Amino acid sequence: MVALAGRHAIVTGGGTGIGAAIALALAEAGASVTISGRRASPLQDVAARSSRISALACDVTDAASVRAMLAKASEKSGAPDILVANAGAAVSKPFKAMSRADLDDMLSVNVAGTFNLWREGLAGIQGRGTGRMIAVASMAGLKGYPYVAGYVAAKHAVIGFTRALALELASTGITVNAICPGFTQTPMLEASVQNIVAKTGRSAAEAEKSLAAGNPQGRFIMPDEIAGTVLWLCSEEARSVNGQAIAISGGE
């Protein structure tokens, strides 16, 4: 088991789905965990499940909001050792129907959200002399998907960002990696299923089957699989894993 006692982890988008699973796994491994998000209620629900988890409201698209969250978190639990940029969003529509605002929304949450956490948290993590910076990207950062061009572009940017920063920090004891899940059983997936139902008239079961078909294992990824990968990346055994985009997709 990975032992993270004495470590402080920050997890954005920690109130639901993958972020909640990551926070709970890190806490179980002994870390002090600060979760953030825009909605207080789901954050508090997750924090209530472990005495090692604290919740702070934060908008990752706003650098000042991220800076304030990090200051409060560091005052309570010390400078961070682990920064997990998990907050993200996806909007589905044909490219010809996209507006510049649609693209900006995808870049703001997925790319600027990662940038803000890492940029504002870098000084604290560098002060530790070692650390882990992890982005929860997507298979959409490694390949294309139709009807989500803005999301695909944003997640590709996150992968490029990860690879560049990994090289900049390689000599500091800090590693920078991305995790690229396939379709994962989360509220975001449920929203995608309902979108397909609304636009195509197919049943929810048919929509789920069509999405799961992209995974050669014929199933959805579960949040605990992503959380387990985060734990491994935080371990000493993964100290040479740097600048990687790790696909968790059943072989997609």
Query: Does some domain include residue 247?
Result: no
Active-site residue, 151 included:
yes
Residues of 38-70 as b/e, b for ≥16 C-beta within 10 angstroms?
Answer: beeebbeebbeeeebbbbbebbbbbeebbeebb
| Shared-domain flag, residues 103 and 197 | no
Q: Identify the pLDDT of residue 157.
A: 98
Provide the pLDDT for residue 168: 97
The Cα 77–Cα 94 span in angstroms is: 45
More confident residue, 215 or 52: 52
Question: Are residues 196 and 133 located together in one domain of the fold?
Answer: no
Where residue 28 falls among pLDDT bands split at 50, 70, 90? Answer: very high
Q: Does 231 lie in the same domain as 191?
A: no
Q: Which domain holds residue 34?
A: 8-182+223-241
* Structure confidence at residue 214 as a pLDDT band (50, 70, 90): confident
- Over residues 163-172, mean pLDDT: 97
| pTM for this predicted structure | 0.92
Mean pLDDT of 207-220: 81
What's the confidence (pLDDT) of residue 123? 93
Phi, psi (rounded to 5 degrees) for 133: -120, 120
- The percentage of the chain sitting over the pLDDT mark of 90, rounded to a whole number, equals 80
What confidence tens digit (pLDDT) does each residue in 240-251 have? Answer: 999 999 999 999
Residues 167 and 177 in one domain: yes
The predicted pLDDT at position 42 comes to 95
Annotated active-site residue in 151, 161, 183, 220: 151
Non-local (6+) Cβ contacts of 206 within 8 A are: none
Same domain, 148 and 204: no
Q: Do 139 and 249 contact (CB within 8 A), yes or no?
A: yes
- Per-residue pLDDT, averaged over 11-21, amounts to 96
In a domain, 252, yes or no: no
> Are 138 and 187 within one domain?
no
* Predicted local confidence at residue 7, as pLDDT: 96
pLDDT for position 202: 78
With residue 229 as reference, give the H or E element that holds it.
helix 223-234
- Reply yes or no on whether the pLDDT at 115 is more than 90: yes
Q: What is the residue-averaged pLDDT of the chain?
A: 93
The answer to whether position 91 is within a domain reads: yes
Tokens 């800076």 found at: 67
One domain for residues 168 and 205: no
pLDDT, one tens digit per residue, over 174-196 is 999 999 999 887 777 777 767 77
- 41 within a domain of the structure (yes/no): yes
Predicted local confidence at residue 159, as pLDDT: 98
Q: Do the Cβ atoms of 247 and 178 come closer than 8 Å? A: no
Per the structure, the count of domains in the chain is 2
Nearest to 85 by CA among 12, 19, 17, 147: 12
Beta bridge partners, 96, equal none
| Strand, helix or coil for residue 124 | helix
Banded pLDDT at 144 (limits 50, 70, 90)? very high
